[in-house]
């Protein structure tokens, strides 16, 4: 009797909703079995992943900001080779830095930076030893922008963006590729969880479809591409952020992210209307998040 070859395994963090959920959907559609993790319940998502083709879906609900949570995830791999690792878990935190509870600040840093790096440090060595594997790290175009009233998140993504590019170079010719997904403003639960629904970016801005963002990131990972910025608006934001003085970028960010800037009487996206010429530069800088 012929033995069926094991299906490749994809590990996806932050998979309960948003970009991570859609990354897991992409993996299921491409013949991967899944190990999915999040700090939120995943039961409803599992049924979707199986309906899309995943034969085995293992679930870990854990705090991925902690080393214990990452260890819990890694233990569920049970020695199986990881073909694709999508490190997507992340959190934001809106408001003025000095007014924030430092426990919440630490949680953003631990989730976006420490937990992500620890996960990579645990799983990528085996991929390198096998000489094969795909890694996708979710950064953000926010990493190019000093983020007034979203300062910790943007700074954390600057770290992740830089680290991902460096890790890719370190793994050059190893058989393992590292791709960096840099989304902009995306229609997920991010803004609600970051307490940003009273801001212009949280309530008013036009947001990208998370399924589209995930598809672009997944395709880039399969091709082994270095990085992908999703959407022409986001590419414009990155280009503008690179040439504008950092103080001007921070000031523009304030206009979008400062609490109380939401236009509750006009829910349409401000970019659906003409922008006065004098405001065009600042209008191209919106605080991206996912």
Q: Which of 127, 152, 218 is nearest to 181 (CA)?
A: 218
**3-class state of residue 79 by DSSP:** coil
Instruction: Report the interhelical angle of 18-29 vs 43-51 (nearest 10°).
Output: 30
32 is catalytic: no
Residue located via tokens 């959190």:
91
Structure tokens at 202: 């949280």
Kindly report the number of other CB atoms within 10 A of residue 209's CB atom.
13
Q: Select which of 21, 32, 118, 153 is catalytic.
A: 153
DSSP H helices in the chain: 18-29, 43-51, 67-75, 102-109, 116-130, 151-170, 190-193, 200-203, 210-223, 232-243, 246-257, 280-283
Between CA 152 and CA 23 the distance in angstroms is 25
Whether 287 and 257 have beta carbons less than 8 Å apart is answered as: yes
Q: Which of 195, 202, 185 is nearest to 256 (CA)?
A: 202
Residues involved in catalysis: 153
């Amino acid at each position: 009797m012929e033995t069926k070859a094991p299906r490749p395994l994809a590990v996806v963090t932050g998979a309960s909703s948003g970009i991570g959920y859609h990354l897991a959907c992409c993996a299921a559609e491409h013949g991967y079995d899944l190990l999915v993790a999040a700090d939120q319940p995943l039961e409803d998502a599992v049924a979707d992943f199986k309906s899309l083709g995943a034969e085995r879906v293992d679930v870990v609900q854990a705090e991925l900001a902690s080393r214990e949570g990452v260890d819990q995830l890694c233990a569920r791999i049970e020695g199986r080779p990881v073909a694709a690792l999508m490190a997507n878990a992340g959190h934001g935190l809106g408001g003025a830095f000095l007014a924030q509870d430092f426990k919440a600040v630490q949680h953003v840093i631990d989730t976006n930076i420490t937990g992500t790096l620890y996960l990579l440090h645990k799983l990528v060595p085996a991929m390198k030893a096998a000489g094969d594997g795909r890694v996708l790290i979710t950064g953000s175009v926010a990493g190019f922008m000093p983020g007034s009233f979203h300062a910790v998140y943007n700074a954390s993504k600057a770290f992740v963006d830089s680290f991902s590019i460096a890790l890719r170079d370190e793994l050059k010719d190893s058989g393992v590729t590292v791709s960096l997904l840099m989304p902009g403003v995306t229609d997920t639960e991010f803004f609600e969880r970051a307490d940003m629904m009273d801001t212009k970016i949280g309530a008013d801005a036009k947001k990208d479809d998370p399924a589209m963002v995930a598809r672009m990131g997944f395709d880039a990972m399969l091709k082994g591409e270095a990085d992908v910025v999703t959407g022409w608006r986001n590419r414009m934001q990155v280009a503008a952020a690179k040439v504008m003085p950092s103080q001007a970028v921070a000031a523009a960010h304030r206009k979008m992210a400062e609490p109380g800037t939401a236009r509750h009487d006009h829910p349409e996206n401000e970019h659906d209307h003409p922008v006065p010429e004098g405001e065009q530069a600042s209008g191209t800088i919106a605080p991206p998040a996912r």
